[in-house]
């Protein structure tokens, strides 16, 4: 199988050193293996995505000497595919609408309850389940104007095998088999379709990695905790599971991970200051 990886930026700000590191690592690995390096623009949040940022991302990548293979995939063109996957999950009774605001969730969690305090999952506090038992009758049409959450317990019951993925990144090297306890207590009923844009990062990334035939997902370590959600969705939707490689994060001098608003470390600022692509590689120890 040809090695195929991707760089999947969101066009919501300029690329910074951390993005450049991720893109260069993926590109170099693809080239070293005689494989392919694809580009995907993750612009499902149309309230934050801007064509100017997408144009700058492409310009920065070209300046870094990173040529991508094949056509660029843009997630805003892919809504029909996300819709179809939501239809499948809905038809199997694995989704339910949720009308809770962040405040409702915080309140439900601060109410006195038995047992340990709810954990913090990849998307924030693990959902306390308020709307889980209020779902419409089986066979009802899928609501399009509300959050849709995955019923994690039902999802785990619908699976035939175990969830397994292989990680080649240094911090979590090896095979991982998250168990039901981890899914229920540390992840919970995640949102798969948001009220405002009818999909979610988790759903779109899984469908598009499969559609682009990605064999190796390279991305920052901050997304490692979300990977079990992705592997679970692949199992539910009958999609292949790629190998995962989560790389170290590039941090600023104070040890904080870089943010889009940190313009001093934006690639365009280094370009304007007269640095070269080689200088950028040296800055991130590549």
By CB under 6 A, residue 205 contacts ligand GLU: yes
Token output for 143: 């609501």
Q: For the CB of residue 134, give the shortest distance to ligand GLU in the complex, in Å.
A: 32
Helix locations, 95-159, DSSP H: 102-110, 152-158
By CB under 6 A, residue 249 contacts ligand GLU: no
Q: Which residue has the tokens 């993750």?
A: 42
Q: What are φ and ψ of residue 265, in 5° steps?
A: -105, 15
Coil, helix or strand for 135? coil
Which range binds ligand GLU by CB under 6 A, 2-10, 111-119, 172-180, 260-268?
2-10
By CB under 6 A, residue 10 contacts ligand GLU: yes
| Pair 244, 271: CB distance under 8 Å | no
Of the candidate residues 4, 5, 9, 24, the single one contacting ligand GLU (CB under 6 A): 9
Of the candidate residues 36, 42, 189, 208, the single one contacting ligand GLU (CB under 6 A): 42
| Pair 25, 247: CB distance under 8 Å | yes
By CB under 6 A, residue 73 contacts ligand GLU: no
By CB under 6 A, residue 223 contacts ligand GLU: yes
By CB under 6 A, residue 95 contacts ligand GLU: no
Which range binds ligand GLU by CB under 6 A, 7-15, 91-99, 112-120, 159-167?
7-15
By CB under 6 A, residue 11 contacts ligand GLU: no
Angle between helices 227-237 and 79-91 (to 10 degrees): 70
Size of the site for ligand GLU (CB under 6 A): 7
Q: Side by side, which strands form the sheet with 73-74?
A: 4-7, 36-41, 73-74
Q: For the CB of residue 204, give the shortest distance to ligand GLU in the complex, in Å.
A: 9
**What does the alpha-carbon distance between residue 285 and residue 203 come to, in Å, rounded to a whole number?**
33
Residues that bind ligand GLU (CB under 6 A): 8-10, 42, 205, 219, 223
């Amino acid at each position: 199988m040809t090695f195929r990886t991707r760089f999947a930026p969101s066009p919501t700000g300029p690329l910074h050193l951390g993005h450049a590191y991720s893109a260069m690592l993926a590109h170099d690995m693809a080239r070293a293996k005689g494989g392919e390096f694809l580009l995907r623009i993750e612009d499902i949040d149309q309230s934050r995505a801007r064509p100017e940022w997408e144009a700058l991302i492409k310009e920065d990548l070209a300046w870094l000497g990173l040529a991508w293979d094949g056509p660029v995939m843009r997630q805003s063109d892919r809504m029909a595919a996300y819709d179809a996957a939501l239809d499948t999950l809905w038809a199997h009774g694995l989704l339910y609408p949720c009308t809770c605001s962040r405040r409702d969730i915080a309140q439900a969690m601060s109410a006195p309850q038995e047992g340990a305090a709810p954990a913090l999952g990849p998307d924030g506090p693990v959902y306390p389940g308020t709307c889980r038992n209020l779902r419409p009758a089986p066979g009802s049409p899928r609501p399009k104007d509300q959050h849709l959450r995955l019923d994690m317990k039902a999802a785990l019951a619908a699976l035939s095998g175990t969830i397994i993925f292989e990680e080649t990144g240094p911090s979590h090297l090896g095979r991982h088999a998250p168990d039901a306890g981890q899914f229920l207590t540390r992840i919970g009923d995640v949102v798969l379709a948001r009220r405002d844009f009818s999909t979610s990062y988790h759903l779109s990334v899984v469908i598009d990695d499969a559609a682009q035939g990605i064999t190796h997902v390279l991305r920052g370590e901050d997304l490692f905790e979300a990977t079990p959600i992705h592997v679970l969705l692949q199992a539910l939707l009958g999609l292949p599971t790629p190998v995962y490689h989560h790389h170290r994060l590039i941090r600023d001098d104070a040890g904080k991970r870089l943010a889009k608003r940190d313009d001093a470390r934006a690639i365009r600022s280094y370009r304007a200051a007269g640095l070269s692509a080689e200088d950028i590689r040296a800055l991130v120890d590549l």
